Amino acid sequence: MQKLIVVIAFLAGAAATSADASEIWEACNSCSNSQYQRKAIRAVPANTPGQFDVYIMDFEREGLRKFRVTTFYDPRERAYLSAALRVVVESHIEYEFVQGVRAVRRDIASVAVGTPIPADVAPSAFDIVHNTLLARGVSDYVNDHLSFWQTIGAPVSVPLMAFGKIVDLNFIISVTFADGSTAKLRLTGLEGSLTEIRYAFELVDGSARDADGNLIPSSANEAAPYVGIFSTQAFAEDMVDFIVRWYSEGGAQVLCRSEESSGGVTVTCKRR
């Protein structure tokens, strides 16, 4: 009972001196009340006495919770103890958070399916599998067609690093290249500043495919064994040229052959 009284006393003191609290932002999607609370306590620095305002973001539910976490040393326990008290979220911060999450969702939805990539940005999905510069160019092109803050105005109270945690929702967009090949890009972060924000995307492993839907191998293990059926000899040769270029030298020694089949042109690859 005495231990409980001590904890309550510290919480009451924290509520009365909130202006001195440090601020921390964490995410916990679709969590229970107890999970939110545990997340808040775990977010504070270990063995560091003080008061911390911890905002727990739930991107799935577009909700925000705030906890005042107090950490103190208990000589009887010979350990640091922490307790979290849920407090009211400031209305302007909650508004900025909700509007920001909705803006991200709208942006991703606007480019989610089959965004066309001009040939001068990257001619084909083949070109971005092993070329981070071209892949970045595709990401930049997608960014140029997004308008994250234009609809809500740049927030001033929610830090960019907090919105960056929205990547936990695993947002993925599809892009289509001029030659008909396709790829998927995953949102991996938000960069820049709150007034000039940019999305960061990276290629999803195993998502690059040619115009016929055949996997474009991203490693020697995917290139051998390999079987693909192509609608034209030219498409088949593009795949063979790519595999030979990237996986036929060194230790992999992947070899390919193509032959006419009832479904088109079949390409078969295997290690030497």
- Assess whether pLDDT exceeds 50 at residue 1: no
Confidence of residue 108 (pLDDT cuts 50, 70, 90): confident
pLDDT digits (tens, 9 = 90+) for 233-269: 999 999 999 999 998 876 668 889 999 888 799 999 9
CA distance 186 to 173: 7
pLDDT digits (tens, 9 = 90+) for 200-214: 899 999 999 999 999
pLDDT digits (tens, 9 = 90+) for 23-39: 999 999 999 999 999 99
The number of beta carbons lying within 10 Å of the beta carbon of residue 9 is 12
- 8-state DSSP, 204: P
Higher pLDDT, 219 or 16: 219
* Domain parsing of the chain, residue ranges: 2-88, 95-203, 220-271
Q: Using an 8 Å Cβ cutoff, are 68 and 15 in contact?
A: yes
Confidence of residue 152 (pLDDT cuts 50, 70, 90): low
Q: What is the mean pLDDT of residues 179-196?
A: 86
- Assess whether pLDDT exceeds 60 at residue 272: yes
